[in-house]
A and B are shown apart, each in its own frame.
Chain A
Amino acid sequence: MSQSTLSTYVSRPRLGETTWVWLIKIVTGPLLVLLLILHLTVNHYLGSTSSGLMTYDDVIRYYQNPIIPAIEILFLVTVVTHCLIGLRGIILDMNPSRRVLSIVTWFLSLLGLFSVVYGIWLALTIAAKGG
C-alpha cells in the first residue's frame, strides 16, 4: 500500500470549484427562476391575441420596447452562466486531469462568451427590424 503523506490528502488547489464559483452558480439559480417565470408568462400570455407571441410580427412588435431585449439578454447571460458552471461541476466529478480540465474550462468559457454575443446580436437584430 502506497505510503502517501498526509499532505497529499489536502484538497489540492486546482481550477476546481471554489467558493466564488459555487456562489455564482447558486445566485444565478433563483434569479433564473424569476426571469424564467417572466419569460414564459410574457411569451405565452402577452401579445395581440393574449395567447402569447404567435407570429413573427408579434415578436418584432414586442421587441420594440427596449426593456424587453434588456431583460432577455439578462436572462441569456444568467442561464448560460448557470448552465456552463453546472456542466463544469459535473465534468469535475469525472476527475479530469489538470490538462483536460484546463481545456474544458477554456472551451466552456468560449462557448459561453459566444452564446452571449450571439444572443445579444440576435436580440438587437430583431429589435432593429421594427424600425
Chain B
Amino acid sequence: MDNTRNQPSAGKFLSWFNPLGRQTGGWAFILNRITALGLTLYLFLHLIVLGQLAQGPGAYDNFLALTENPFIKLGELAAVAAVILHGLNGVRIILTSFGVGVTRQKQLFYGFMAVSIVIILFFVVRMY
C-alpha cells in the first residue's frame, strides 16, 4: 500500500481545482493556476495573430475588423481580467515569499481582488 512515491495520476490533478474545503489562500492558488493556463493560450494565440502584421495592411486591417466581433471582445476582456488577477496574485506571492505581509495574507488577497475588480470594470467601460 505504498502511495508515498510521486506518480503521474491524471485524476488527482482535478483536485487542484476543487474549491470545497478550501479557504482564501486555496482559492488564490486555484485562481492563479487557471489564469496561468488561460494566459499561456492567449500568449501564443496573440503571437501567431500578430504575424498578420507582416502580411501587409490588408491582412492586418481585416483582422482588426474581426476584433469588433462581440465574442472576440469578450475573449479579450477575459484575457485582460486574467492578466490583472494573475498579476496581483503574483505580487501577493512575491510579498509573502519575502516575508512581507505573511500574517495578513488573507487581507492581501481580498485587497488585491478588490483592486482587480476596479481595474477590470474600468476596462469593461472602456471596451464597451
Binding site for B on A (CB under 8 A): 1-2, 4, 26, 29-30, 32-33, 36, 44, 54-57, 59, 79-80, 83, 86-87, 90, 93-97, 115, 118-119, 122, 125-126
Contacts and interface: CB of A to CB of B under 8 A. Distances in A.
Interface size class of B (residues with CB under 8 A): 20 to 34
B87 to A, nearest CB: 5
Given A54-B64, A56-B60, A90-B36, A2 B87 contact: no
A1 B6 contact: no
Nearest to A79: B43
A33 B53 contact: no
A59 B53 contact: yes
A94 B13 contact: yes
Given A26-B93, A83-B39, A86-B36, A36 B64 contact: no
A59 B37 CA distance: 29
B2 A2 contact: yes
A29 B13 contact: no
B94 A126 contact: no
B97 interface: yes
Interface of B: 1-2, 4, 6-9, 13, 16, 33, 36-37, 39-40, 43-44, 47, 50-51, 53-54, 56-57, 60-61, 64, 83, 87, 90-91, 93-94, 97, 126
Contacts of B7: 95
A118 B84 CA distance: 26
A1 B2 contact: yes
